[in-house]
Amino acid sequence: MQKFWTELLAVLAGGMACVQVLAQPGVIATRPQDSLSTRMLTMEEAVLGYELYPERLKTVWRPGSTELTKYENGVLYAVNPLAGLNGEIMRTADIEGFSDDEGIRFVQWLGRDTAIFSDGEAYFLIDAGKKEVKGKIRLPGGVANLVFNEAGFHPYTLGNGLYFCDNYGNTYPVAVSEDKNIIYGQYVSRNEFGITGGIFLSPSGKKVAFYRKDESAVGTFPLLDITSRTGTLFEIKYPMAGMSSENVRLGVYDFASGTTVYLDCDDFGYDQYLTGITWTPDDRLILVQVLDRSQKHMKLNKYSSSTGEFAGTVLTEDNDRFVEPQDPVWFLEGSTDRFIYRTDNRDGFKNLYLCDLDGNVGRLTRTGADVMYAGNDGKKVYYTSAEVSPIENHLFSIDIKTGRTARLTSAEGWHEVSMSPGCSYFTDCYSSLDVPYVADLCSTDGRQRSVNLLTSHNPVSDFRFCEISLGKVRSADGKYDNYYRMIKPAGFDPSKKYPVILYVYGGPHSQLVRNTWLGELRRWEMYMAQRGYIVYVQDNRGTMNRGADFEKAIYGRCGKAEMADQMEGIKMLCSLPYVDKDRIGVHGWSYGGFMTISLITNYPDVFKVAVAGGPVIDWKWYEVMYGERYMGNPAVNPEGYEATSLINKAKDLKGKLLICQGAVDNVVVWQHSLNFVRECIRNNVQVDYFPYPCAQHNVMGKDRIHLMDKVTLYFDTFLL
């Protein structure tokens, strides 16, 4: 703390020479305000003003073709890749039972010729060529996780069980559970490790793999439902760090025979993790990334889909901090043996490797930046990369034989791409600081001129939006550039001094600063800038898209490296003559709530006001999968848990702190914030607290207007 202020005073000691520095250091792009309009955002517009986002492309590729399709006003169109013209595929009004478009939505393609529509009560399988209904599925209430299957077997979950239906809605059981602790076909591991669901169809559609989750050993946490007459407690399963976790198995069901086998996954015992579930293209094998509970050791194993027997280990990963598998593997087109695998554990960045089932592994991409797989045609692999800049995303191709690479997107900014079947074409949807949104249809060989599909207008051109700058500041260890977004207040006058609000998240898997339209702005930030605040947002070590060392710097001491980096940004801000260093506030939610309270208690002489939402207070109360990855097991790292616990920092609170929390938060449970309040009471430290009685981890909808109004009023009262 003393070192911080010594360095800061040295910066400020330049007198008039310092005052003449009117621009913040490290600026790489600046966007002035849109117009001279006096129109300001209302809180409702800042929170729920969906019309203030740019229009976006709503298209999907048709399987087995190069047609880009869209559905609007009752018509399913195809976009010609050469000319960009709209060709009519079918009209829903031409289909019996679809007299008009009201209430009808396009769901997805199921193969080249079958389109699925829904009227809200049933699903209709439509032959798009013959324009006739080939199936109708009506399912009972409570059905979830429905996965459509071209082979005609459509698995779904109901309660804790797994079932499937045919094209006419006839239903059949796969795995029925009468035990509340046994769950089939749903996500496991609390959605960590890239897990988003629990149903994995084979390429032929004749078999399905599924998760079986046993939560018998997992403890519960009680939540209060105040909407009942006398109030009701309901318990959720919540595996806390260091405590008993769930057991996960992977079953395989054969639709024709009605039989189930379970894979022989037993490398690391009861509470291992199973992720990256991938079928070989011939249905013969299933690849599973098996991770031990410490998350330091991973085996990519192969198993027989017919017997469940272990067929060998393809490759292994080991790391002293953590291994974090987040992707399946991707097989090369036309191959049942060779596949692409992504990891940051071999060269320090998330690169792609070309592997085979015999365990041969060769590096494919050779960038000093994180990459993400986008597609392949058997000869070339397509990927997006941060190699141009960590705040930009661009598409590249690499020739598998020669290793020759080519950059396929050129416009400045962040590009989101979608490859066509066969990878002959791609949609390039991008924005940058001053470009709201552009969508082009491009060819991967570059021989065809790209076709513009959409160029969005600026939806906030009538508002008085303030100046936004993107810049960078060195990390506290001097190794990296951390990128920031800064918004100057309305009517900015460099001769005046303004209060600052630091909006922070700072946790893993996040990147708040990108070269997108308005710099990835959250509109509440602009709302506060319009009210006279400088708003500052910065990424730090521990966030994503910067390589393994950058991301894993937080291991064992969550908050330490992150706070040090954020304070470098604050130091930079305090060197600016128009920043009032006596009026600095901080706000964040979830991991950002943890960061908010960490900052105001560790730097009580810097931060005057803070608002923390749903904050983690002590990592021993957070869940196993996430908490043990970054902090280790409490039994192994007691010093780290003790050093990062905010219970120990409650006595150091000097400024004004408001904590907001959803009372039925099932992610960061109430135990966190209530224990912090209790510790404040023990130390006779005043703290403000506001619960949202029926909200879970995030306060949504109309309630969110109240929340952000509460946050704003707190800063207006004590900081402005």
Q: Which residues are catalytic?
A: 590, 665, 697
Backbone phi, then psi, for 565, in 5-degree steps? -70, -40
Backbone phi, then psi, for 568, in 5-degree steps? -65, -35
Return the structure tokens found at 344. 């940051």
Amino acid at 347: D
Residues 6+ apart with CB under 8 A from 377: 333, 422, 423, 424
3-state secondary structure 336-350: CCEEEEEECCCCCCC
- Residue 686 buriedness (CB in 10 A; 0-12 / 13-18 / 19+): exposed
Residues 6+ apart with CB under 8 A from 539: 482, 483, 484, 506, 510, 511, 512, 513
3-state secondary structure 616-670: CCCHHHCEHHHHHHHHCCCCCCHHHHHHHCCHHHHHHCCCEEEEEEECCCCCCCC
Backbone phi, then psi, for 238, in 5-degree steps? -145, 100
Return the structure tokens found at 301. 């194993």
First vs last C-alpha separation in the chain: 25
CB atoms within 10 A of CB 186: 17
| Residue closest to 292 by CA, chosen among 629, 553, 641, 620 | 629
Each as own residue / partner, the long-range contacts of residues 683-689 (CB below 8 Å, 24 or more positions apart, any chain) are 683/650, 683/651, 685/650, 685/651, 685/653, 687/650, 687/653, 687/657, 687/658, 687/659, 688/656, 688/657, 688/658, 688/659, 688/714, 689/658, 689/659, 689/660, 689/661
Taking each continuous run of H as one helix and of E as one strand, the counts in the chain are 11, 44
**Is the separation of the CB atoms in 497 and 489 below 8 Å?**
no
Residues 6+ apart with CB under 8 A from 521: 468, 485, 487
Question: Where is 570: in which H helix or E strand?
Answer: helix 560-574
**Is the separation of the CB atoms in 553 and 470 below 8 Å?**
no
Amino acid at 399: D
| Measured distance CA(86)–CA(318) in Å, rounded | 51
Task: Please report where in the chains the tokens 């209790």 appear, as a residue.
Answer: 678
| Measured distance CA(199)–CA(208) in Å, rounded | 7
Residues 6+ apart with CB under 8 A from 12: 18, 574, 575, 581
Task: Please report where in the chains the tokens 């951390």 appear, as a residue.
Answer: 482
